[in-house]
């Protein structure tokens, strides 16, 4: 059932279906409805909701069919046949009369329509099925029948549907969004996307299975909560016994041949259909497929699987060890180790190790590489440690080090990598070990310098190999390819430092080289996309990173290890351009569709959603998403997004008045400020500065932001400079618009166009231009910027005395501000009144409204107490108020006085 544990909540994702079924039963077109779906999908809960909707219009008579009553004529009707004598129990006429008498009694003369609610109607005996059909077709009652998808409703009720007398509804599993909603409802708090994605995949969207997994996860500690956010902890526990029994009930009537098919698939799924029928019974396979217990994919390579993710786990548990070994050996002889499926290939290798028939060392090494690319460190270690060929020892050590890095054993991984590079005589091994060394170094201090050290070591190894080759042409070509590899690291280091203009020149030179391989090309395009997006060319940058993604897709699993590196930078390029729909598509393709616990993409979905919401002005949504993003990145932050996430979260919390969390995230940012790329650190820093305006006053934050903006522009970090100036303007800086307009004039994408239009009109103090900029911003979804444009227009018109136009625009502003989800920024409070205050007066008013004493304000602002008192006197006079409680901009409930 898709109900919350207390049974009092509406069903998740079923509202429209409830309305449709209710209408079908109470209308004149049909005599009832049939709900069809797999066990646990929520048919019973849905039927009870329909019955509640019909309360007062129908007398509900529940009927529960079961396998034990299926051979008993009218057995399911026994609760309504208590007045029958023993001699009349087998009489259809007597049973009919008894049911009719019960129907008359149940309505109590209220002219209510009797409604049979038949659970598990596929288990009805023939006599009951016929009788219910007669009552329905005779307009004596209506029916709501619930049935499994297979074998489906009994023939009599099925005939009523085929005749158009009953409407049939398929009750589908929950969608991904509905799974997430149910997880949040059941756990009673915010939930990381990785939790709902993983549990959704495991449960197959089945509400009953999902609820069982959630409750078991809480009991076992697999689901843990930190800072009010639920996440996955460790490995999934064994399934709850009640859930196991429910699943086993689906297989209890199966023949021995069908059980053999299910056991084989539980161990080998997904497996080629032809291999399955070779080692089992073809007719049994056909029967299970017809009954919906197994699925067979179409296409050139037909692949068979169990129809639900949990079936395999339950069946595998009951297969004896000897039989499991026999099945694996039998299947092993039929499968090709060159399976197109990575999971299938790893299963082939794993079975060989289990059965004492391991594949050759090259296959074992390839399995370790594939397992590491799929973030399965345990299998990678198992396969790599089984490699014994001396020539493959270096490569196997690299995969062992990579697996140890994923496990968090960084010193051990570093020791292995350095050992490999000291003795390296192979171009391929030098590349793999050097790239792994870089991955380890970006987790340490001063990554750019460490990256250059890795590049220099790689270069020395390449030159030594080339010198020892005696001018072998093949070796010289290999050296040329390798040179582009270590040159790529220089581009990476330059991007890391925010030196994007220099990086662009290096990367374009590499991409034009004749020895630029596909792997070097995808790395070069990715870094080039990052550089372009960071200098205002987000569309061109996203095109480059998208080409890199296409290279990965066209090479099967060869380059899958580069996914997170490319996807992260593709997301950032799209974000710089403001291509929100493209980001949604990216998340769907690469993140939401990948179940699992902590992964390189942990927190990515949330930070993307939070950034989009923040830019659109949906502040409450942004705050929630960014809080989740921070918790997700605490699990895994291979892409070093935490500094940015902390700054964005601090700012979003400040914008909705959550000052406690804003202070916490600002402190966390300060504690780890040296981590991440320079751009990620600065994005976090400027948002922390903007958030701190609530505590230190806008004037101080504006000056700090202007320093960052000037330095960023001087270093060629144009997008960062523009974002910094935008935040400064948000705090009331009127001096920044000329610079902001100049920076964004040639920016690509919707975001650049919106900010440029706003900056140009604000620089000219042009109300008409600001109104047009607001329209552009609103059409592009930038509600916050639209509100800011209209707010400035109101201010400028009021200063000119054009009150009529000002009031008209004020109405538009009020409508947009209402959509900004709990925004408590003082800039939109009492627009007319606060526009009369100077910046210093606004800062003092805000601090006073947040409970600061006059002495505290004096210390914060660097003035005397008497000066503060004078400012407050003038503020009260301008605003026409007499008490601090009436000051606009309050929100920080912490008093320092």
DSSP assignments along 118-166, one per residue: EETGGG--HHHHHHHHHHHHTTS-EEEEEE-SSS-S-HHHHHHHHTTSE
Q: What is the CATH number of the domain that holds 277?
A: 1.10.10.10
pLDDT at 60: 87
Q: Which of 308-312, 332-336, 556-560, 720-724 has the highest mean pLDDT?
A: 720-724
Per residue in 215-252, pLDDT tens?
999 999 999 998 889 988 878 888 888 888 888 888 88
Count: domains in the chain:
6
Q: Is the pLDDT of residue 819 over 50?
A: yes
Question: Which pLDDT band, with edges at 50, 70 and 90, does 893 fall under?
Answer: very low
122 shares its domain with 216? no
pLDDT at 830: 37
Q: What is the CATH number of the domain that holds 47?
A: 3.40.50.300
86 shares its domain with 159? yes
Q: What is the mean pLDDT of residues 533-561?
A: 91
The residue among 632 and 887 whose pLDDT is bigger is 632
CA within 13 Å, CB half, 358: 15
| Dihedral Cα 20, 23, 24, 27, nearest 10 deg | -160
Q: What is the mean pLDDT of residues 634-649?
A: 89
638 shares its domain with 762? no
Cα 20 to Cα 848: distance, rounded to the nearest angstrom? 56
Question: Which pLDDT band, with edges at 50, 70 and 90, does 454 fall under?
Answer: very high
Per residue in 832-855, pLDDT tens?
344 457 778 888 888 888 888 999
Q: What is the DSSP string of 237-295?
A: PPPPHHHHHHHHGGGTT--HHHHHHHHHHHHH-SEEHHHHHHHS-HHHHHHHHHTTSEE
Q: What percent of the chain has pLDDT over 70?
A: 91
pLDDT at 600: 54
247 shares its domain with 288? yes
Cα 256 to Cα 272: distance, rounded to the nearest angstrom? 22
Task: Walk across the sheet containing 58-64 and list its strands.
Answer: 58-64, 113-119, 142-147, 32-36, 166-170
Q: What is the CATH number of the domain that holds 610?
A: 1.25.40
Per residue in 272-304, pLDDT tens?
888 899 889 999 999 998 888 899 887 667 888
Cα 889 to Cα 841: distance, rounded to the nearest angstrom? 12
161 shares its domain with 61? yes
Q: Report the DSSP beta bridge partners of residue 296.
A: 304
Please report whether residue 880 resides in a domain.
yes
Question: Which pLDDT band, with edges at 50, 70 and 90, does 629 fall under?
Answer: very high
777 shares its domain with 859? no
Q: Is the pLDDT of residue 5 over 50?
A: no
Per residue in 109-164, pLDDT tens?
566 788 889 998 888 888 888 888 988 898 888 999 998 877 666 678 888 888 89
Cα 288 to Cα 350: distance, rounded to the nearest angstrom? 27
Question: Which pLDDT band, with edges at 50, 70 and 90, does 592 fall under?
Answer: low
Question: Which pLDDT band, with edges at 50, 70 and 90, does 3 fall under?
Answer: very low
Choose the final residue of a domain: 307, 335, 363: 335
663 shares its domain with 738? no
Nearest by Cα to 691 from 758, 619, 762:
619
Please report whether residue 310 resides in a domain.
yes
160 shares its domain with 275? no
Q: What is the DSSP string of 50-86?
A: HHHHTBTTEEEEEEE--GGGTTSTTGGGGGG-TT--G
Q: Is the pLDDT of residue 429 over 70?
A: yes
Question: Which pLDDT band, with edges at 50, 70 and 90, does 676 fall under?
Answer: confident
Q: Is the pLDDT of residue 828 over 80?
A: no
Spell out the long-range contacts of 237-243 with Cβ–Cβ below 8 A and sequence spacing 24 or more.
238/317, 239/212, 239/310, 239/313, 239/314, 240/212, 240/215, 240/216, 242/212, 243/209, 243/212, 243/213, 243/216, 243/310
Please report whether residue 554 resides in a domain.
no
Write b or e for each residue in 619-634: b if 16 or more Cβ atoms lie within 10 A of its Cβ, otherwise e: bbbbbbbbbbbbbbbb
266 shares its domain with 216? no
pLDDT at 646: 96
pLDDT at 233: 85
Choose the final residue of a domain: 823, 854, 885: 823
Please report whether residue 27 resides in a domain.
yes
Choose the final residue of a domain: 335, 366, 398: 335
Per residue in 69-78, pLDDT tens?
887 888 888 8
Q: Is the pLDDT of residue 863 over 90?
A: no
Q: Is the pLDDT of residue 339 over 80?
A: no
State pTM to two decimals.
0.78
The residue among 59 and 678 whose pLDDT is bigger is 678
pLDDT at 9: 58
Q: Is the pLDDT of residue 486 over 60?
A: yes
Q: What is the mean pLDDT of residues 535-551?
A: 96
H or E, element range at 609: helix 604-616
718 shares its domain with 819? yes
pLDDT at 827: 46
Please report whether residue 389 resides in a domain.
no
The three-class DSSP label of residue 113 is: strand
Q: What percent of the chain has pLDDT over 90?
A: 48
Domain range enclosing 715: 697-823
Q: Which of 225-234, 360-369, 815-824, 861-870 has the highest mean pLDDT?
A: 360-369
756 shares its domain with 645? no
103 shares its domain with 128? yes
For the chain, what is the mean pLDDT?
87
Q: What is the mean pLDDT of residues 174-198?
A: 91
Please report whether residue 681 resides in a domain.
no
- Out of 81-95, 722-736, 750-764, 771-785, pick the least confident: 81-95
Please report whether residue 478 resides in a domain.
no
Q: Is the pLDDT of residue 487 over 50?
A: yes
CB burial of residue 104 (10 Å; 0-12, 13-18, 19+): exposed
Cα 259 to Cα 789: distance, rounded to the nearest angstrom? 69
pLDDT at 109: 56
pLDDT at 831: 35
């Amino acid at each position: 059932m898709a109900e919350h544990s207390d049974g009092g909540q509406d069903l998740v994702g079923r509202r429209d279906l409830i309305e449709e079924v209710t209408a079908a039963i109470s209308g004149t077109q049909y005599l009832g409805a049939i709900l069809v779906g797999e066990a646990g999908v929520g048919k019973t809960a849905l039927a009870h909701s329909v019955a509640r909707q019909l309360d007062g219009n129908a007398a509900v008579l529940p009927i529960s069919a079961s396998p034990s009553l299926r051979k008993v004529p009218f057995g399911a009707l026994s609760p309504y046949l208590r007045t029958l004598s023993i001699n009349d129990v087998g009489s259809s006429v007597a049973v009919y009369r008894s049911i009719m008498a019960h129907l008359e009694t149940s309505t109590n003369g209220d002219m209510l329509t009797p409604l049979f609610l038949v659970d598990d109607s596929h288990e009805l005996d023939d006599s009951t099925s016929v009788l219910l059909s007669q009552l329905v077709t005779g307009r004596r009652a209506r029916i709501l029948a619930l049935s499994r998808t297979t074998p489906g409703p009994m023939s009599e009720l099925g005939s009523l549907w085929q005749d158009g007398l009953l409407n049939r509804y398929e009750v589908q599993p929950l969608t991904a969004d509905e799974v997430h909603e149910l997880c949040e409802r059941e756990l009673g708090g915010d939930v990381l996307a990785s939790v709902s994605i993983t549990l959704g995949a495991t449960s197959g969207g089945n509400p009953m299975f999902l609820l069982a997994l959630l409750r078991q996860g809480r009991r076992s500690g697999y689901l843990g909560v930190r800072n009010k956010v639920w996440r996955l902890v460790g490995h999934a526990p064994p399934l709850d016994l009640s859930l196991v029994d429910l699943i086993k009930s689906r297989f209890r009537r199966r023949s021995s041949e069908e059980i053999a098919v299910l056991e084989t698939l539980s161990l080998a799924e997904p497996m080629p259909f032809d291999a399955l029928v070779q080692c089992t019974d073809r007719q049994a396979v056909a029967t299970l497929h017809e009954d919906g217990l197994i699925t067979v994919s179409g296409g050139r390579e037909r692949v068979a699987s169990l129809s639900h993710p949990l079936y395999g786990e339950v069946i595998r548990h009951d297969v004896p060890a000897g039989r499991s070994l026999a099945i694996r050996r039998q299947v092993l002889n039929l499968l090709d180790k060159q399976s197109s499926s990575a999971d299938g290939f790893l299963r082939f290798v794993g079975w060989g190790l289990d059965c004492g028939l391991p594949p050759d060392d090259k296959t074992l090494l390839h399995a370790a590489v594939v397992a590491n690319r799929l973030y399965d460190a345990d299998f990678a270690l198992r396969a790599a440690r089984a490699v014994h060929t001396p020539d493959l020892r270096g490569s196997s050590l690299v995969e062992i080090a990579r697996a140890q890095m994923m496990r968090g054993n960084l010193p051990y991984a570093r020791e292995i990598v350095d050992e490999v590079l000291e003795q390296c005589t192979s171009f391929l091994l030098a590349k793999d070990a050097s790239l792994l060394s870089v991955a380890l170094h970006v987790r340490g201090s001063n990554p750019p310098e460490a990256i250059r050290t890795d590049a220099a070591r790689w270069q020395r190894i390449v030159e030594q190999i080339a010198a020892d080759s005696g001018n072998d042409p093949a070796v010289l070509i290999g050296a040329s390819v390798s040179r582009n590899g270590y040159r790529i690291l220089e581009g990476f280091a330059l991007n890391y430092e925010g030196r994007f203009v220099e990086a662009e020149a290096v990367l374009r030179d590499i991409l034009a080289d004749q020895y630029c391989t596909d792997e070097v090309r995808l790395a070069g395009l990715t870094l080039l996309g990052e550089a372009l997006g960071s200098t205002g060319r987000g569309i061109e940058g996203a095109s480059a990173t998208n080409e890199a993604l296409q290279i990965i897709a066209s090479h099967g699993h060869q380059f899958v290890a580069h996914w997170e590196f490319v996807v992260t930078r593709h997301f950032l390029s799209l974000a710089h351009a403001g291509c929100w729909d493209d980001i949604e598509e990216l998340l769907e393709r690469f993140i939401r569709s990948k179940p699992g616990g902590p992964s390189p993409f942990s927190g990515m979905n949330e930070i993307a959603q939070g950034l989009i919401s923040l830019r659109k002005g949906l502040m409450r949504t942004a705050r929630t998403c960014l809080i989740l993003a921070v918790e997700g990145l605490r699990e895994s932050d291979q892409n070093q997004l935490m500094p940015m996430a902390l700054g964005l979260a601090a700012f979003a919390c400040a914008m909705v008045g959550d000052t406690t969390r804003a202070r916490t995230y600002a402190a966390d940012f300060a504690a780890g400020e040296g981590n991440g790329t320079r751009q990620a650190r600065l994005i976090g820093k400027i948002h922390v500065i903007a958030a701190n305006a609530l505590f230190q006053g806008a004037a101080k934050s504006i000056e700090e932001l202007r320093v960052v903006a000037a330095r960023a522009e001087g270093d060629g970090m144009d997008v960062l400079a523009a974002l910094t100036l935008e935040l400064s303007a948000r705090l009331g800086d009127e001096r920044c618009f000329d610079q902001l307009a100049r920076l964004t004039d040639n920016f690509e994408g919707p975001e650049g166009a919106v900010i440029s239009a706003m900056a140009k009109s604000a620089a000219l103090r042009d109300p008409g231009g600001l109104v047009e900029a607001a329209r552009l911003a609103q059409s592009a979804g930038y509600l916050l910027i639209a509100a800011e444009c209209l707010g400035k227009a109101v201010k400028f018109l009021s200063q000119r005395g054009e009150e009529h136009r000002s009031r008209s625009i004020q109405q538009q502003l009020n409508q947009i501000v209402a959509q900004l989800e709990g925004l408590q920024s003082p800039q939109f409070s009492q627009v007319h009144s606060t526009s009369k205050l100077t910046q210093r007066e606004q800062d003092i008013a805000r601090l006073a409204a947040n409970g600061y004493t006059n002495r505290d304000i004096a210390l914060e602002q660097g003035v005397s107490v008497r000066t503060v008192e004078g400012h407050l006197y003038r503020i009260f006079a301008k605003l026409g108020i007499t008490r601090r409680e009436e000051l606009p901009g309050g929100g920080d409930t912490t008093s320092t006085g």
